[in-house]
Every structure is written in structure tokens, then in C-alpha cells.
Amino acid sequence: HWSDITSSVDRADRWITELVRVSQVTQMTSEVVQPSAVNRACLQEMTPEMNRRGIRWTIAPGEAPGIQAHTAMLRQILISILANSTDAMPDGGDITVQWRIDGNNLKLQVIDNGTGIQDDIRNALFRPFFSTKSGGLGIGLALVKRMVEQWGGQVSLNRGPVGGTAVELTLPLA
């Protein structure tokens, strides 16, 4: 069927683009990034999709301090995390973006009250090409982990406070 072929090609195209991005990642120099501005831009970009699905979002007030990262890459990472959260809430729900300072790091959390992730799957999600989505290539979180670690940070997936999932990015302060 033509539409199946087209969607497979689109998927392969995204996959190749992602792989190229992963391979070029090592040459990317980090810069001082204002995370609150990036967060707001990503949430605004995702708002039409979230509205369609009955998802509300809130973002912590104030401006988080600058971090060592890469603006375009952090944007990709946040969009990817927000898209995952949105997918986990087919019947609507809430997404909260918050941050706190922990020593020399900024801990940035994206929390949803979606379906959550089983413990065994949670660890596998960081493996390249592992995906729970039909048609997903599962390169997302593996790339996120690689990027964040390259900036001297960490990424973790935990159970959210009221079910769902909390993705936490630990990023070095600038």
C-alpha cells in the first residue's frame, strides 16, 4: 500500500537524519543556554498538539540559571521528551516543567501523569533502537543520554509523583 511505503520512507528518513545527528554530536561545542526560554519555546510549539489531546501544561515561574549545553540540541531533547509525554496521555492530562539548583547543576524535570513506564522497560529505553511505540525507532532517549552526558550531565527516568513519568535532566550550570 502506498501510504505504508510513504510512512516507512519518512520513518527511515527521520532515522537517518537522527543517526547523522548522533555521529556529528561529538563536534558540537557547548555554549551558555538559558533553559527557561528554551522550555517556553518548546511548550509553545507543542501547544496546538497538546490542546488537541486535552493536555494542560505548567512551567515553573522565574528564570532558571544558565547552563552549559547547546541551544538547538537542548530544544530537540525537550521536544522529544514533551512528545513522549504527550503520547503517554492519549486521554489528556497534565505536564509540568520545573527546575531546581542542586550544587553546580540544574535539575530540569518534565513530569507527566500519563500511563507511566514499567520498571523493566524504563532501563531498556536508553538502548539505541529500543522502542515501545509501533513505528518508533527508539533512537530518541539514547541520543538524549549521549548528548546530556557529553555536556557533563545526566538523564534519568523515574515514576512521577502521581503516576506517569518524570524525566530529569541534570545539566552543569554555566
Burial class of residue 79 in the structure, from the number of CB atoms within 10 Å of its CB (0-12 exposed, 13-18 middle, 19+ buried): middle
Beta-carbon-side half-sphere exposure of residue 54 (alpha carbons within 13 Å): 7
pLDDT for 64: 96
What's the rounded Cα separation, in Å, for the pair 38 and 40?
6
pLDDT at 19: 64
User: What pLDDT is attached to residue 129?
Assistant: 61
**pLDDT on residue 95:** 96
pLDDT at 18: 66
pLDDT, one tens digit for every residue, the chain (174 residues): 777 677 667 766 776 676 666 666 555 677 899 999 999 999 998 999 899 999 999 999 999 999 999 888 888 889 888 888 888 888 999 999 999 999 999 999 999 998 888 777 777 777 766 666 655 555 578 778 888 888 999 999 998 888 899 999 999 999
Phi, psi angle pair for 137, to nearest 5°: -95, -10
C-alpha cell belonging to residue 36: 527557561
pLDDT of residue 135: 55
pLDDT of residue 119: 76
